Amino acid sequence: MVKIAPSILSADFANLEREIGRISDADYVHVDVMDGVFVPNITIGIPVVRCIRPVTKLPLDVHLMIVRPVRYVEAFCDAGADIVTVHVESDTPDEIRAALDKIHARGGRAGIVLSPGTPAQAAEPFLEHVDMILAMTVEPGFGGQSFMADMMPKVAALRAMIDARNPGCELEVDGGVDPVTCRACIQAGANVLVAGSAVYTAPDTPARIRELRG
Ligand code: DX5
Ligand code: ZN
């Protein structure tokens, strides 16, 4: 079954425990970490991951939109992240490999993220070393943007690469996913869907999570 990872970027940060409680029917809690340098926005970091760890049984899926993530991945694992994903654009290939290795050494699941302008082939050198590949369907930086349907061939290409070389790897999409656009993502081969505004603006959160499963 398709997994749903609501992004708490769209939650009420003054009431995070309650907001995470609303998504207990989901599969992962998606945590968007932005540094104001890799992306033009600043969000939350290690102390918030540490504080939310005890309030949910769901795995924490931490999406790092920061420069040189190798500096911080161990701290995120120690704070309670279960999955840590790093952008391939955020450092050299060697340093990205080093970041993935550090996450694994801490017992975490490691992933890479591809921004919209980055081709599927950029995942090639990392394919055997990741547990998740995240394909962005908006430019990283902000919630509530429009879904980029033109990313679907790239998602399909990543699905083919994963099936051929690392079938246990998850394929996640992030940005503009709603009860309509989720279908194209699933059709293209994604098995984890991130959704921020579509989940947190819904009057009935469990019903919305069910809808997003396609
Ligand atoms: C964007 C973030 C996304 C975003 C998704 O940089 O990585 O996780 O919060 O929000 P929606 O679902 O509203 O596009
Ligand atoms: Zn994200």
Phi first, then psi: give them for residue 193, nearest 5 degrees.
-115, 125
- Topology of the domain comprising 3-212: TIM Barrel (3.20.20)
Note the pLDDT of residue 43: 98
Note the pLDDT of residue 214: 93
Kindly identify the ligand whose nearest atom is closest to the C-alpha of 178: 1
Give the pLDDT confidence of 97-150 residue by residue, as tens digits: 999 999 999 999 999 999 999 999 999 999 999 999 999 999 999 999 999 999
C-alpha distance from residue 157 to each of 9, 43, 67, 189, 206 (Å): 28, 31, 26, 9, 31
Q: Taking the domains of the chain in order of start, what are their residue ranges?
A: 3-212
Note the pLDDT of residue 116: 99
What is the position in ligand 1's atom list of the atom closest to the CA of 137? 14
Asked if 69 contacts 99 with a C-beta cutoff of 8 angstroms, the reply is yes
Ligand 1 site residues (CB inside 6 A) read 7, 9-10, 30, 32, 63, 138, 140-141, 143-145, 174-177, 194-198
Share of the chain above pLDDT 70, in %: 100
In angstroms, what is the span from residue 136 Cα to ligand 2's centroid? Answer: 8
Tokens in use for 110? 């490691």
Give the pLDDT confidence of 59-93 residue by residue, as tens digits: 999 999 999 999 999 999 999 999 999 999 999 99
Note the pLDDT of residue 141: 98
Note the pLDDT of residue 75: 99
Note the pLDDT of residue 47: 98
What is the position in ligand 1's atom list of the atom closest to the CA of 39? 6
What is the position in ligand 1's atom list of the atom closest to the CA of 195? 12
Give the pLDDT confidence of 28-54 residue by residue, as tens digits: 999 999 999 999 999 999 999 999 999
- In angstroms, rounded to a whole number, what is the distance separating the alpha carbons of residues 33 and 25? 23
In angstroms, what is the span from residue 44 Cα to ligand 2's centroid? Answer: 12
Percent helix, strand, coil in the chain (nearest 5)? 45, 20, 35
In angstroms, what is the span from residue 7 Cα to ligand 1's centroid? Answer: 6
